[in-house]
Amino acid sequence: MKNLRSKVITGGVYLSFVAFGFIVAKFINIPHFEISKSIDISNIFSLIVAAWLAILITTVFEKRNNDNRVEKDLIISRVGNIFDIAASLQIESNTGQIYHTEASSSIKRINTALNSIYKIVDKCHFGISIEIKEKIKLNLSDLRETLTSTPVITEEQLNGTQLPIEIRESIIYYNRDRISQIEVKFDDLKNLLLELQIDINKK
């Protein structure tokens, strides 16, 4: 606010000097220049008002754009925090085992953080692509299912040495195929979060 006031005052001072010089030039003979001595006060007043309005509008728009930029940067950084949660969970699941509570709570944290971002964006009076929101929602649902749900096991798998997913003593164990599936879904989620950041930045 101080910067806005300072710019308006500075612009006003410059404008006042210009107007003062114009008026003085009407009464002083300047060599090689011929200036009419009649002063149209209404024209001078209109010029001053128009210049003041131009300065004011430009300054207000600049401040509004700066405020919007700050809001967007803050929201984009919040999406970056979600990206970090997803990346951390991905690294953990790549080991082939993870605590059930950790997997569930991390997905819940991501969903909660996204809903918080959507509410903040609504308050900032710009929207997010519904398509991106739906894709993220579907991805998280699939990811939760792949991370924590035990699938129906066939007799062949039951007699095999390694099941796609097992839960023993609150720890989830994955086989190689399930780890690959989880990896793909995490990569999709991170790409969607990047799309979300780009979409917010364009508003």
181 confidence band (pLDDT: 50, 70, 90): very high
Give whole-number Cα distances, 32 to 19, 29, 35, in Å: 21, 9, 10
DSSP 121-183: HHHTT----HHHHHHHHHHHHHHHHHHHPPPPPPHHHHTSS--SEEEETTEEEE-HHHHHHHH
* Average pLDDT for 17-24: 56
Distance (Å, rounded) from C-alpha 126 to C-alpha 136?
19
Q: Write the pLDDT tens digit of every residue in 60-119.
A: 666 666 667 788 889 999 999 999 999 999 999 999 999 999 999 999 999 999 999 999
What is the percent of the chain with per-residue pLDDT over 90, rounded to a whole number?
45
Helix (H) / strand (E) element for 167: namely: strand 165-168
> Contact, 164 vs 157, CB < 8 A?
yes
122: tokens are 């609504």
For CA atoms 49, 50, 56, 60, give the dihedral sign.
Answer: positive
Helix (H, G, I), strand (E, B) or coil at 26: helix
Q: Which domains occur in the chain, in start order?
A: 2-202 (1.20.120)
Q: With cut-offs at 50, 70 and 90, classify the pLDDT of residue 2.
A: very low
Supply the pTM of this predicted model: 0.66
Decide: 188 and 139 in contact? Cβ < 8 Å: yes
β-strand pairing of 171-174 with 97-99: antiparallel
